[in-house]
Structure 1
Amino acid sequence: MQTRPLGTAGPQVAPLALGCAGMSDHTAPADEADAIATIHTALAAGVTLLDTADFYGMGHNEELIRRALRGSDRDKALLSVKFGGLRDPDGAFVGIEGRPAHVKNALAYSLRRLGTDHVDIYRPARIDPATPIEDTIGAVADLVQAGHVRHIGLSEVGPQTIRRAHAVHPIRDVQIEYSLFSRAPETNGILDTCRELGIGVTAYGVLAHGLLTGSYRQPAGGDPRAHWLPRFHPDNLATNLALADRLRPLAHAHGISVAQLATAWVIAQSREHGTVVAVLGARRPQRIEEALAAADVTLTDADLRTIHEAVPAEAVAGTRYAAPLMALLDSERGPKTSAGTAD
C-alpha cells in the first residue's frame, strides 16, 4: 500500500490505520483469534499504524497486541498509544490525568504490557484541565529523549492547545473525530493549524459510529447509545439515516458500499488538509479487506461536490456527544481557548 509521512516529519503511514479499541472494549468482546487475525491481515496489507490506549479493556488491549505482534511482527507495526483515561474496577471512567509523574508511570506499564522497549506515538487521550499542556508534553518529551517514545501526538484538542504543545516539542499527529457527519475540524481551525505546523491527522469515527455504514439497523427497543450519542436519539436518527442513504447512488456508481465511500471521502481530504489517515475500527479480518477497497477509490472533484451536496455539514441532526461529554473536549472549546491552567 502506498505510504506518505504523517505530517511533514512523522513516520511513513498508509491512508488507513487500525483502531483496536473494539477488540477489548465492547458489549460483545471480539474473539481473540479473530482479533489477532485482524491485526495480522492489516499488517500484511500494509496497514501498519495500530491505535490503542492503556485504558482500552484496562490493559487488555495492549496485552492482546503484544500477543499478535509476538516475534518479528513488532518491527512491522507502528504503535500509537493514548494515556490519561482513569477507570474504576467496574470500568467506569472517573477522570483524566496528565501530571508528568503519571505520564511516565503509565508508559512504563504500557511498555510492559506491549512487550516492547518503545512506542511510536504517545499521546494524552484528553487534556487534564488541572495540568498545563506544557507539563504533560514536557514529560513525553523526556521519554522521547530517553528513547522510549519516537513521536508525540495529541487527541481531541483545539488550535491553541496544539500550538502550545508544539512549542514544547514537535507534534507529529493530532487524532480527532472527523467524518461526513463530524465536519467541525474544517471550520474551527484544527485542520488549518495542523497543516500550517506540518502535523498529520488521524481521523476516527469515520463511519459515525455506524450511521454511515449504509446497513445500520436500530435494535428493538431503541439504541442504548442514544443517551450519550444524540445522533442516535429517535428525534435525530431518521434524519441522519436518510442523509447516509443519499450516498448510495454514488457508492453504487463506484461499485463500493456506502461505508467504503465514507472512508474514501476521509482519505481524500488529504488533498486539502495535508496527511489525513482514516482510523478503521475492526474486529474481524473481513473489515480490513473491505476497507482496502476504499483506499483504492479515487474521488474526483465532481464526486466530492456530489457528496457535499448530498450530506451538507449543517444537515446532520444532533451533536456528536451529549452535552456533559462535549464539555470535556478541548477540541470543542473554540479556536481562542487554551488547555490546562494557563491563561
Structure 2
Amino acid sequence: MKRGWLLFLLLPKLVVAAPPATISGISGRIDRIATDAEGGFHAIVGPSIYRLVGDHFEHERTIRDPDTNYTITDIDLWVTPAGIVKGYYASHYSPERSDATYYRLHYVVCRASRCRHRTLRSGNLKSSHTTIESTALDRNGALYLVESYAYKNGKRWHSQTSWYRDGAQFKKEEGTYPEIRLAFLDEELVTVKRTYLGNLEIESRGISLTVPGVKSYYTWHVLPSGDSLHLFHHDPATKSMIWTRWNRTTGQVESLPLDTQETGIESAPFLLPDGRIGLFYSYYRNPFNKGLRFALLENDRMVENVIIDRAADRNSGWHIAANANLREEIVVGFTSDLLAR
C-alpha cells in the first residue's frame, strides 16, 4: 500500500543558505505553479486554483463546465501576471441509457468572480476526439494551445494538429505527434515535437531541426531564455538528467549531463528573474538514498546541485512543479508516497 500527498516547499533567495519551509493547504496532483506581477504564488491542481497566503494555500476558484451534465476530464490552466485566469479544458457527458459519450473543448477566461467559456469543438467519441497537447502564455498574456484532433470518415480515422491563440484557431496541419510542447522566444512561437522514434524536433522560423542525440520517452520540458531554447529530459541510455541548449541565432546545440544513476525521470525547470535557470528533478541512488534535487544553471554550466528532500521510507519528487517570483523566492510542489512496511 502507498499513501500519496503533495508536499510544497518555500525556498529563500539563496537556496543553499537555509532549509526550505513546508507549505500546507492542498491535496491532489500538482500541475503548475504560477506567479503574478505582485510576486504572489498560485498553485494549479486540476480545475482548482489556490493562492499562497503566509504559510498555506487558500482556495481561489474551481473551473466547471457551465453545462452541469458535462464533467471536466482534461484541463490546462494559467494565471497571467495581471492575475487573470485563462485555460483550455475538455469535458465529457454520457447520457443514461445510451452508449454514446459526448465531448466539448472549451477556452475559459476568469476575471474577478466571473468566468467566460467558449466552445471550440464538440462531438461524439464514437466518431471523433480531441486532446490538449500543450499550452503556452506569451509576454502579453495571450494563451496558446496546440490540440490533437482525430475524426472518422467512413471506416477510416484521420488526424489533425491545430494551434489556437486565446481561443481562435490560426493554424492546422494534417497528422499528429506523440507529444508537442510550445514555447516563446521573444515574440516567436516555437514548437517542439517528440517523434515516434523518440527524437525531439524544433520548429522555428519555418525551419525544422532534429536535436542530435536527444531522445526521451519520459517527462521532458522546454524552457525559453533569451535567444536560447533549453530542453530537459531523462536519457534512457545513460539513465541521466540531460540539459540541452539550442541557440536560435547560431544554430548551435550543446548538451550537458547534470546527474547520473537514475535521475530526471521527473523534473521541473523554471526561470529566475536574473536569467538563471532553476531545475528540480527526481533522483534514485539506492532504496535508502532517493528523493528530490535542485540544480542552478548559469550560462553554459551548473553552479549548484543540492538535495532538497530525501527519505528512506518513501519516494518523493513525482509530478513536480516549480516557479520563482520577482524576489527570487521559489515554490516547488511534488507528490510523495509512503512505502509499505
Q: Same fold (TM over 0.5)?
A: no
Higher helix share: 1
TM normalised by structure 2 equals 0.29
Larger Rg: 2
Higher strand share: 2
